[in-house]
Structure 1
């Protein structure tokens, strides 16, 4: 999420660092899920309404970025978010079509149990290397932003070409629309997880989504705590905060189902020993 209103220049350096770290999180966020879908040759871990609502929120964001006259780099990022959403939707429907064609081709020659046999996602790197690298990338972006901000010749943009804080209705409509879409997007995924037990869903996607929203809110609050400024950016703060809450709930689902599976494993082991 990105605001379309430029706040007053207060704590600009820390705010810019947080803003760039937020962008880095959002660059990372889609990759683990796209990779997991590719390895599993399935997108069943994702709720289709979740992706569609997320796409609509990103489309609203893109319209707002263009309307507000953001720098080309910010507009390119907004386009990137939309393209990633489209890739996820494509993966879901393509792998469903591929699965249906396989079943039609095999007919009665192969049991459905074998066709539906779950695959294990093999990470590109071991977790003890991959996670530090991803987190390190986000921190490095924040550090580079800090260095750039100290350079008088390079000015990190406020996010718009405008100066003060203006409660402009078009931007507010876009802000609250994207806010509602982002919040609603998580609801179908939460219910979808009750059925799939989070199988085929990337934990990293929600971890970096939370990180992106936390740093985004921090970038707003570090700019200013002026009442008018907070009211102007209330939609983006509320949308990010509520999305964080739902993403934490989804991570809680991951933890609960992982704990359940760990409890089942010793039971099955004891059954085999009895035989």
Structure 2
């Protein structure tokens, strides 16, 4: 009975892990596209991106030293490249705006898009948004389960675990906790910036997928084992993922609040248009 339970936990943990990976593969895409469509990256806090980049670099370095699967290391490289793409967009669109004198670009002053276009974006159908997010959720779930099924049916030779010295183990733990602190700290400057930008130029899907990815990753650790030693070993990654969820929820709360305020602001105008 205990063997069957352990096998079930391993399977569920693996599925959750693959779903988490699927989330993290697409997490950057909405913001990259948002920046491209607005021709501006001013909705992002530069400190947010830089600290997130540092977290990804330390996380990737820890994965390499820990001898994790090549797929995990490749994902670490992918995350780092996406961070660099976001930074490139911010600076490129600032340079472009300055060159063509579209508007003044200062780090603390966002580039605002056309008010009417922004209002139309903010009051788009709630039903439509729900459908899009339900579709995105279904996509990552199906992709994760499919990836798990493929991986479970491919038998790869098991590599013997290498013995790590205590110093290497200590370095890995330091990198893990540094990464966790960076992931947590990165959200604070973005939350502060949102008060002045009203979340304009920021893609909510970035934080939606981040929440889903962190939640499934944390669950994959807990489902596998709740033994004290196991949780301590994975403590940094568990803490970084679980606690970041609350800060990402704070960002989504800001989105909801400013969206509601925008709807109240333009609703009278919409009523007049409908009755004319």
Q: 1:69-148 residue pairs with structure 2 within 5 A? A: 69-103=67-101, 117=114, 130-148=132-150
CA distance in structure 1 between the partners assigned to 2:157 and 2:252 by the alignment: 34
Check 1:156–1:50 CA distance in 2 against 1; reply closer, same or farther (3 A cut). farther
Q: 1:227-246 residue pairs with structure 2 within 5 A? A: 227-246=228-247
- Number of the residue aligned with 1:260: 261
CA contact 1:149–1:156 (8 Å) conserved in 2: no
- More moved, 220-229 vs 137-146: 137-146
TM-score by length of 2: 0.81
- More moved, 62-71 vs 174-183: 62-71
CA distance in structure 1 between the partners assigned to 2:243 and 2:41 by the alignment: 25
Check 1:204–1:116 CA distance in 2 against 1; reply closer, same or farther (3 A cut). closer
After superposing on structure 2, the runs of 4+ consecutive aligned residues of structure 1 that deviate more than 4 Å are 118-121, 126-130, 155-158, 160-164, 267-273
CA distance in structure 2 between the partners assigned to 1:115 and 1:14 by the alignment: 45
- More moved, 84-93 vs 167-176: 167-176
CA contact 2:14–2:220 (8 Å) conserved in 1: yes
CA distance in structure 2 between the partners assigned to 1:156 and 1:141 by the alignment: 24
TM-score by length of 1: 0.81
- Number of the residue aligned with 1:45: 43
CA contact 1:148–1:155 (8 Å) conserved in 2: no
CA distance in structure 2 between the partners assigned to 1:230 and 1:95 by the alignment: 44
CA distance in structure 1 between the partners assigned to 2:141 and 2:40 by the alignment: 32
Q: 1:175-254 residue pairs with structure 2 within 5 A? A: 175-254=176-255
- 5+ residue gaps, structure 1, are 1-7, 108-113
CA contact 1:58–1:178 (8 Å) conserved in 2: yes
Check 1:225–1:252 CA distance in 2 against 1; reply closer, same or farther (3 A cut). same
CA contact 2:16–2:216 (8 Å) conserved in 1: yes
CA distance in structure 2 between the partners assigned to 1:217 and 1:163 by the alignment: 26
SS in 2 for 1:11: helix
More helix by share: 2
Match of 2:58 among 53, 57, 60: 60
CA distance in structure 1 between the partners assigned to 2:55 and 2:23 by the alignment: 17
Check 1:208–1:156 CA distance in 2 against 1; reply closer, same or farther (3 A cut). farther
- 5+ residue gaps, structure 2, are 1-5, 105-110
Check 1:214–1:145 CA distance in 2 against 1; reply closer, same or farther (3 A cut). same
